[in-house]
Chain A
Amino acid sequence: MAKEKIVVNFRFRDKLNEVPGGKHHNYCYQCSACVAACPAARFSKEFNPRIILLKALLGMEEELTGEDSLIWLCTNCYSCYERCPQDVRPIEVIIALKNMAVQKQTAPANLVKLSENIGNTGVSVMVTSSVDRKRKELGLPDLKKIPIEELKKII
């Protein structure tokens, strides 16, 4: 039986290298220390940070940044960063892949919803009258004015 040919998509890896945190994927030597520490891998049959890094090394763009990508199951706990002996910072590679998925508009709608407020208002949660009321009831000072115009100039 002929061996299956392995094709590495270096063009995707080059793109990943340009995203903040993406470059460290090159250091991965597939030791699995991240897997042993990963809570998502413990509770999910599908999620495995070593496999994600392997796919990054092979440049499997669609699997990583397509609509069915498993990267969104990462719990953002930083255990892989803590464990990794190679300074891969696996979570930061996953975040770089998430940034790429957002660019491709394949990120979950929920992510877009949960993150859009900051760019529009400067805070992650909508300031509503119920927030003001709750603060008043607790005797807390009024919320300070958010410098949203200044923020918009830098992002």
Chain B
Amino acid sequence: MPLKYPQMELAIRNTMPNLGVELVDIDDFTCCPDPIYFKARDKMKWLTIAARNLAVAEETGLDLITMCSGCISTLKEAQYLLAEDSALMDEVNKRLKKINREYKGKVEVKHAVVMIRDDLGMDTVKKSVKRSLEGINVGIHYGCHMLKPSQIMQVDDADYPSILDDFVAAIGATPIEHFEKLLCCGKGCMDDELPLEMTEAILSSIEESGADCMGLICPTCFSSFDLGQLMISRKKGKSFTIPVIYIFQLLGLAQGLTAEEVGLHTHRVKVDNVLDKIKKGG
């Protein structure tokens, strides 16, 4: 995320202090690593690297928050697997011993939006709003990895989630129902055609809903839909102009930050319609 989608990091850094959250950057982290490609290559190495990151976080004595659905998926699943299988825990810690580290299973790991809901409350979000996004209709795309498997993620009902709807409502905007709200964006599928078909189905669903923009939480989904709109137009001849906005960028706009202060100027699909509507007061 700091490498591919730094605008999302900017949105987090500029909005969290307004919620009273102090962010501390941890030294010695590596990629979580990703729950799709590296895990498919070697799950044991994937687990070991994740456990190392967890051990590093544990040493700080702080809670760990992530701003990415992929990161939280890897870290939570690693915690779950190591907690359910003590032999696996021993094997991983044997590896970590080589670098004088140990994962004890004590660190609390949460996605930023979950931390906001559970530790601060949506009222804190509401109170930080300086410019309500009233009148902005947001078609939410939940993405898969923050919610599923719910047995591990423990965030929400994976079939009827409300966390992002509640977040969007707290900043004054209106979450709009649409048919493919819970469909996977398809990014993890290693095929030329299928991911585009899935992305197109979701974009069509958002378009039909009459939403002003798409609101999402996952950076990988973001690339499916932002850059993805150009790909779909090139490969399938169907063109969309749906602004794709990370939920913390929406929060930033509601907190009175400029589009540049939340990095919206870096997006391929322009977000001007949303900004104009905010300026006009919905």
Interface of A with B (CB < 8 Å)?
19-21, 39-40, 43-44, 72-79, 81-82, 89, 95-96, 98-99, 102, 107-108, 110-112, 114-115, 118-119, 122-125, 127, 131, 134-135, 138-141, 143-148, 150-151, 153-155
Contact = CB atoms under 8 A, between A and B. Distances in A.
Contacts of A148: 30
A154 B194 contact: no
A79 B266 CA distance: 32
Interface stretch (B7-15, B133-141, B169-177, B229-237): B7-15
B33 A118 contact: yes
A77 B149 CA distance: 9
B163 interface: no
A27 to B, nearest CB: 15
A146 B3 CA distance: 13
Nearest to A117: B31
Interface of B: 2-4, 6-7, 9-10, 13, 25, 27-31, 33-45, 47-49, 52, 81, 88, 95-96, 98-99, 144-145, 148-151, 158, 183-184, 186-191, 194-195, 197-198, 201, 263, 266
B191 A72 contact: yes
A110 B151 CA distance: 31
Contacts of B9: 140
Contacts of B42: 99, 102, 155
12 contacts: A20-B43, A20-B88, A40-B189, A40-B194, A73-B194, A77-B144, A96-B43, A115-B38, A122-B30, A140-B9, A154-B48, A154-B99
Given A72-B189, A76-B35, A123-B31, 10 more contacts: A43-B198, A76-B188, A78-B144, A98-B40, A118-B30, A123-B3, A124-B33, A124-B38, A141-B25, A144-B28
